[in-house]
Amino acid sequence: MPALNDLYKKYRDRGEFYIVYIQEAHPVDAWQMDVNVKEGALLATTKTLEDRSKAADTCVIKLGLDLPALVDTPDDFVERAYTGWPDRLYVVDKNGRIAFKSAAGPFGFKPEDVETTLKRLLSEGNTNRASNAEGQRRGDQSERDLPQS
Amino acid sequence: MKWLLRILAALAGLYAVLYGVVYVAMRQPPVRFGQFMKRMPPVLVWAALPAQSMWLKARQGTLAVGEEAPDFTLPRYKGNGTVTLSSHRGTRPVVLVFGSYT
Domain extents in chain B? 2-58
Q: B56 vs A103: CB contact, 8 Å cut-off?
A: yes
Best probe of the B interface among A4, A5, A12, A16, by most B CBs < 10 A, is: A16
| DSSP label at residue B65 | T
A120 touches chain B (CB under 8 A): no
A113 touches chain B (CB under 8 A): no
- Nearest by CB to A26, from B35, B95, B102: name it: B102
pLDDT at A131: 44
Ordered DSSP codes for A87-113:
-EEEEE-TTSBEEEEPPSTTTT--HHH
State the pairing for strand pair A88-92/A98-101. Answer: antiparallel
- Predicted confidence (pLDDT) per residue in A29-40, tens digit: 778 888 888 877
Cα B96 from Cα B88, distance rounded (Å): 13
Which three-class secondary structure state does DSSP give residue B44?
helix
* Whole-number Cα distances in Å, A62 to A10, A38, A44, A57, A71: 22, 14, 16, 8, 17
Taken as a whole, chain B contains a residue count of 102
Task: Report, as ranges of residue numbers, the positions in chain A whose pLDDT lies below 50.
Answer: 129-149
Show residues of chain B in contact with A109, CB under 8 Å: 99
Show residues of chain A in contact with B96, CB under 8 Å: 18, 20, 82, 84, 89-92
A2-128: CATH class: alpha beta
Show residues of chain B in contact with A67, CB under 8 Å: 97
Burial of residue A84, with CB atoms counted within 10 A of its CB: 0-12 exposed, 13-18 middle, 19 or more buried: buried
AA letter at A126: N
Q: b/e for A38-76, b at 16 or more Cβ within 10 A?
A: eeebebebbeebebbbebbbebbeeeebebbbbbbbeeb
pLDDT at A127: 59
Mean pLDDT of B76-98: 91
Higher pLDDT, A128 or B12: B12
pLDDT at A1: 64
- Predicted confidence (pLDDT) per residue in B16-38, tens digit: 999 999 999 999 988 899 889 98
Cα A97 from Cα B86, distance rounded (Å): 10
Higher pLDDT, A149 or B39: B39
